[in-house]
Amino acid sequence: MTDDIPAALFTFFEAMPRQGPGADAITAALFERFRPLLPDSIAAADMGCGSGSAALVLAEKGCAVTGVDIHPPFLDALSREAAARHLEVGTLCASMLDSGLPEQSLDLVWSEGAVFTVGFDAALDEFQRLLRPGGIAVVSECSWFVRHPALEAAEFWATAYPGMRSVGGNVLACEDHGWRILHTERLPSAVWEEGFYGPMQALCERLAPDADAEMAAMIEENIAEIALFRAHHQAYGYIFYGLQKLG
């Protein structure tokens, strides 16, 4: 399942507090926005959960949540933290596109910074399958904010994520896949810095002196990505798409 993913990537991100940009306060606020549309007992899944920051917030909010990820050490970290907080969080080692969760078994699907690994459209279809009619999906996706980004940003993302679209393009995709658009919200640039790129730069600097060739190459790529975002954060970033399954 993970044979084509460099080992250095997992080693690096196991040491990160989060595996993608985000903040617990934002997750909590988004959940509260959609709570009135959800049943009293909420069956939820955090897809591509990593070490489970969002899953833990959802559990604290009273959801019966399962964290789904392909990397067992992330799930182990989630289980340890849930136990430390006296929370019940299930884990499932699986791809978000092949989780084994039953059709129409969920009220809420959550995924922060992860669907790019399988493709936004493919994730939309799978989340539709998993949700009961009227269920909610909250998905963050890296999106263009401008029509004509700087050349260096466009070239970087053409390689790093060829499927990256504009906010409008993603909204149209959601509608084409049968979703009702409830809300879109931009993740502030400061959150990228405080919760993700700041810790990432510090980790790069700590690991660099003893890095092997594979890790050194990844560190170099990470530093370049950090610099690019700091120069062009007005042109792209994460958008949360709040969606409802029709029916």
3-state DSSP of the chain: CCCCCCHHHHHHHHCCCCCCCCCHHHHHHHHHHHHHHCCCCCEEEEECCCCCHHHHHHHHCCCEEEEEECCHHHHHHHHHHHHHCCCCEEEEECCCCCCCCCCCCEEEEEECCCHHHCCHHHHHHHHHHHEEEEEEEEEEEEEECCCCCCHHHHHHHHHHCCCCEEHHHHHHHHHHCCEEEEEEEECCHHHHHHHHHHHHHHHHHHHHHHCCHHHHHHHHHHHHHHHHHHHHCCCEEEEEEEEEECC
What is the model's pLDDT at position 2?
43
Query: What is the rounded average pLDDT of the residues 44-68?
Result: 97
pLDDT at 3 (0 to 100):
46
pLDDT at 1: 39
d(CA 88, CA 74): 16
Mean pLDDT within 195-207: 95
Look at residue 31 in the predicted model and tell me its pLDDT.
98
Q: What are phi and psi of 120, to 5 degrees?
A: -55, -45
- pLDDT, tens only, 116-125: 999 999 999 9
What domains does the chain contain, in order, with CATH numbers? Answer: 19-145+156-189+234-245 (3.40.50.150)
Is residue 178 very low, low, confident or very high in pLDDT (cuts 50, 70, 90)? Answer: very high
Tens-place pLDDT, residues 85-132: 999 999 999 999 999 999 999 999 999 999 999 999 999 999 999 999
**Can you tell me the mean pLDDT for 203-230?**
94
pLDDT tens across 24-38, in order?
999 999 999 999 999
pTM of the model: 0.94
User: In the structure, what pLDDT confidence band is assigned to residue 4 with cuts at 50, 70 and 90?
Assistant: low
